[in-house]
Chains A and B, each alone.
Chain A
Amino acid sequence: MPKVDIAKTFSKAISVSKQEVKIAEFQKEIEELRKKQSPELERELDNLRKALQEQSGEKWICLSQIRTNDNQPRQSFTEESIVSLASSLEKDGQISPIIVIPEGDFYLLWDGERRYKSALYLEWDKIKAVTAPMPADLHRKALLTFIHHEELNALDKAEAIVQEIITVADISPDTIPSGIRALVRRLERNGEIQKVREVLNQSREIQQTTISDLDLSEEQREILSVVLDLQLNPASIAANDLQMLGLFEDLKYSIRNKGLKGTHALVLQKLSSENLKVTPTKAKNIRTRAVGKILKNNLNVPKTKLLVQSLIDKSVGTIRDDKLTKDFKRLVERINKVDLSEFNDDQLRELRDFFQIKLNDLELLMK
């Protein structure tokens, strides 16, 4: 009997499935590179685009069918960066397609959010895209990618952490900040914060073993497990990230849309209606003007602190001045209105002595 060889039979099947594997590997590699902010990222994205183009080709997709990835923690693109890309898109056309993942009748945006936003800005109907398969565990990947991304602003990071805790541990959002603070206090009290820090970059198994050894409540265990899985230190979250969540909404808006830095926002948070002694609306206006000034003049944090202090002094000072002026006028008016004939002799005499003392004081002050 002749020897059979089935390798040839399968050669096309093999080349098609190798293409599949290659695409999956590119996707994985890109997530890694994003994490490291490597300059090779763009080249690898190009490779993936080419592989996808080869596999199923480019297509034009309606912008209305695209859903941005809600799980992509980076929610902030400044208007400036979008407008500048839009003008280049208008001038040169779209050079590289965005990468989307089909999901029912819609497409989930995987790479190219800025191109997508710029196309919306230009009121395009369609955008050039290639389709990729769904990477396993998209949310976690997106999160890990972006949480360690320097460009990710502190607010997005804080919200992403809370979102991850909600998703994984099913804890109500309101109790998460206090939960994390309680967790950190407990770790500090038990002298175990160092143990936690040591397993930050360890495998999940090692982290889990460490967590099970700690004296914590069930909820605290769950929070710690999520946080460590993201390679974040709970103490630093409590000290830095959580403060972002309490920022005034207008400051959050400025971070997201105008490019205000988190550290500046924390300083501006002092411009509250209580500190300024004005109504909340007035305080908001003062903050908005301050944000404009900081961004326009590119103020650093110490200068921002000075600005904030001077704004508070000015606001409180003006109020004091205003109040004195008003009191003075009222006083003069009242004295003017007094009808001296209504008093008896004793009262008149007492009043004269009083005025004489006050007159002396007044002359002394005026010298």
Chain B
Amino acid sequence: MQIVLGILANAGGVGKTTLAVHLAYEVSKLGHPVAILDLDPQRSLDVFCGLEPVDSQDSLVTVFSKDFKGQWPLVETWQGSRVQVCQGHPYMSSMSDQLVTRRRGEYALADRLRKYPLTHDLVIIDCPATLGMLATNALAASTHLLVPVQLEMKSAFGAAGLIEWCIEVSDELELNPRPPILGIVPCMYDSKTAIHRQILQQLPEITSQLSVTLYPRVRDSKEFKNASAVGLPLQKYRPNHPAVEDFKVLSKDIDRLIQDAKG
């Protein structure tokens, strides 16, 4: 079995794609081939991976088309890494509207992954920041979920709604087993901001009540922005930067999940 990790958020700009990209790179360094699927019509993944935008037929849109025969449009990223990317496209949003009326529309991505499986140990699904049809597709296709949260009220509020949504929709879709929330990752943490410190302090109590793992926070750093400007993960751009450490615990957990899944 393969690990399909849906990265979901209910608010924009919380560091979702940053998390997807750095996690993918870190896990690939542990020897696992990784694929990232960009469900987000904003295609911010292209920027982080230093990729030119592609036409819709070379993007994830084609995977949803009715005549898809298993030719996943995967491209290599970051020379020498074991990460491949299936790029997004603005047309994803109208595809999302079409899925509403399609039979098994909620399961479109899950059905594709089952019928035309990817060979990677880990598939990361980067989702749009709204809980619509695309997020539902990600949920149905995932074996595990990861919830990045920015330490501000808007994002915390969104995360609470997201968790309720996951349980409710898993139930409606009769997902079995339900994809568990692997954990919550506090992102863009700035120790100089009081509200960040306050919310971070309260999170352990909340996550323990939710029976969900709380992962170490990912700090905010302008170097993330500088790295993405040249289309590289921080690990490649500045390997000795302290923020590189912030992904280690999470990637180790995922490495263990992959090992377990392989038996």
The answer to whether B210 and A14 touch across the interface, beta carbons within 8 angstroms, is yes
Q: Interface residues of B toward A: which range?
A: 20 to 34
The answer to whether A13 and B210 touch across the interface, beta carbons within 8 angstroms, is yes
B residues near A134, Cβ cutoff 8 Å: 176-177
Interface bits B184-200 vs A (CB < 8 Å: 1, else 0): 00000000001100110
Least CB distance, A274 to chain B, in whole angstroms: 47
Q: How far is the CA of A17 from the CA of B165 in the complex (A)?
A: 11
A residues near B176, Cβ cutoff 8 Å: 101-103, 133-134
A residues near B171, Cβ cutoff 8 Å: 55-56
**In chain A between 112 and 132, which residues have their CB closer than 8 angstroms to a CB of chain B?**
131
Interface bits B201-231 vs A (CB < 8 Å: 1, else 0): 0110110011110000000000000000000
The answer to whether A16 and B168 touch across the interface, beta carbons within 8 angstroms, is yes
Q: Which residue of B lies closest to A105 (CB)?
A: B174
A residues near B167, Cβ cutoff 8 Å: 16-17, 20
Whether, in the assembled complex, A10 has its beta carbon less than 8 Å from a beta carbon of chain B, the answer is yes
Whether, in the assembled complex, A326 has its beta carbon less than 8 Å from a beta carbon of chain B, the answer is no
User: Quick one: given A12-B164, A16-B164, are A131 and B206 in contact (CB under 8 Å)?
Assistant: no
The answer to whether B211 and A102 touch across the interface, beta carbons within 8 angstroms, is no
Whether, in the assembled complex, B100 has its beta carbon less than 8 Å from a beta carbon of chain A, the answer is no
The answer to whether A16 and B195 touch across the interface, beta carbons within 8 angstroms, is no
Least CB distance, B97 to chain A, in whole angstroms: 26
A residues near B248, Cβ cutoff 8 Å: none
Least CB distance, B208 to chain A, in whole angstroms: 10
Q: How far is the CA of A12 from the CA of B168 in the complex (A)?
A: 12
Q: Which of A3, A13, A21, A103 has the most CB of B within 10 A?
A: A13
The answer to whether A12 and B160 touch across the interface, beta carbons within 8 angstroms, is yes
Q: How far is the CA of A9 from the CA of B157 in the complex (A)?
A: 6
Whether, in the assembled complex, B95 has its beta carbon less than 8 Å from a beta carbon of chain A, the answer is no
Q: Which residue of B lies closest to A133 (CB)?
A: B178
User: Quick one: given A1-B194, A17-B210, A134-B176, are A6 and B163 in contact (CB under 8 Å)?
Assistant: no
The answer to whether A6 and B206 touch across the interface, beta carbons within 8 angstroms, is yes
Q: How far is the CA of A101 from the CA of B205 in the complex (A)?
A: 32
The answer to whether B210 and A9 touch across the interface, beta carbons within 8 angstroms, is no
Q: How far is the CA of A229 from the CA of B160 in the complex (A)?
A: 41
Interface bits B143-165 vs A (CB < 8 Å: 1, else 0): 00000000001001101110110
A residues near B199, Cβ cutoff 8 Å: 4, 6
A residues near B157, Cβ cutoff 8 Å: 9
Q: How far is the CA of A47 from the CA of B202 in the complex (A)?
A: 33
Whether, in the assembled complex, A7 has its beta carbon less than 8 Å from a beta carbon of chain B, the answer is yes
Least CB distance, B259 to chain A, in whole angstroms: 17
Q: Which residue of A lies closest to B149 (CB)?
A: A6
Interface bits B230-244 vs A (CB < 8 Å: 1, else 0): 000000000000000
The answer to whether B211 and A3 touch across the interface, beta carbons within 8 angstroms, is no
Least CB distance, A194 to chain B, in whole angstroms: 33
Least CB distance, A159 to chain B, in whole angstroms: 25
B interface vs A, CB < 8 Å?
153, 156-157, 159-161, 163-164, 167-168, 171, 174, 176-178, 194-195, 198-199, 202-203, 205-206, 209-212
Pairs A-B, 8 closest by C-beta atoms: A102-B174, A13-B163, A13-B160, A10-B160, A134-B176, A134-B177, A14-B209, A6-B156
